[in-house]
Amino acid sequence: EAGVAQSPRYKIIEKRQSVAFWCNPISGHATLYWYQQILGQGPKLLIQFQNNGVVDDSQLPKDRFSAERLKGVDSTLKIQPAKLEDSAVYLCASSLTGPNQPQHFGDGTRLSIL
Amino acid sequence: QQQVKQSPQSLIVQKGGISIINCAYENTAFDYFPWYQQFPGKGPALLIAIRPDVSEKKEGRFTISFNKSAKQFSLHIMDSQPGDSATYFCAARAGQKLVFGQGTRLTINP
């Protein structure tokens, strides 16, 4: 079974620029998550999708972050404009629907803001 | 209330020893407690998980101990090996939301 695919692996941009990350979940996984992992901390949920609908975006900084999952499969996360504090690894995860289904993580995109 | 507190931040254990990582929570709505292992440059991978109606779960060298009354749970790695060197995260789930601890960087000395 192919895992969660993310691209790019690394991205370096200057503050106030925009950036986008892409995620392809495991086939058949209806639930998709985006996490932010700052160096030395645990992942923090940014947004959760069930198919193409948003389940939880309470911790997404909506003034600069946006995410979509138009066809209920692939997803993109965008930051515009980026701030220095956005430097982090952005992880995508997916799971089957249902209680206690394990989340499977991709290897993330490491974002550095100069 | 949504926090999961994890300790220690870092841990060094000799090969063959027992590694112990502890986590505590406050929110009684948490009903599922997984542990994740993360290697540098990789995403977290599910290691083992427990539900609060069970006090202990063992899978190979990995054991979760769960104390519901104290709202604490711990990961024990028996016969620790250099290949176990990684960062370990405890987590807790309420509804569909997973809350992670701060992580423990484990180093196993050969």
Which pLDDT tens digit goes with each residue over A84-94?
A: 999 999 999 99
A-chain residues within 8 Å CB-CB of B34? Answer: 102
Dig out the tokens for B66 from the structure: 């769960």
Residue A63 burial (CB < 10 Å; 0-12/13-18/19+)? exposed
**Considering chain A, what is the average pLDDT of its residues?**
94
B23-64 confidence digits (pLDDT tens): 999 999 999 999 999 999 999 999 999 999 999 999 999 999
Of the candidates B32, B41, B44, the beta carbon closest to that of A105 is on B44
A-chain residues within 8 Å CB-CB of B32? Answer: 99-100
Cα B6 to Cα A42, A108, B26, B76, B99: the distances in Å are: 10, 23, 12, 14, 12
Query: A21, A75 in Cβ contact below 8 A?
Result: no
**CB-CB under 8 Å, A43 with B100:** yes
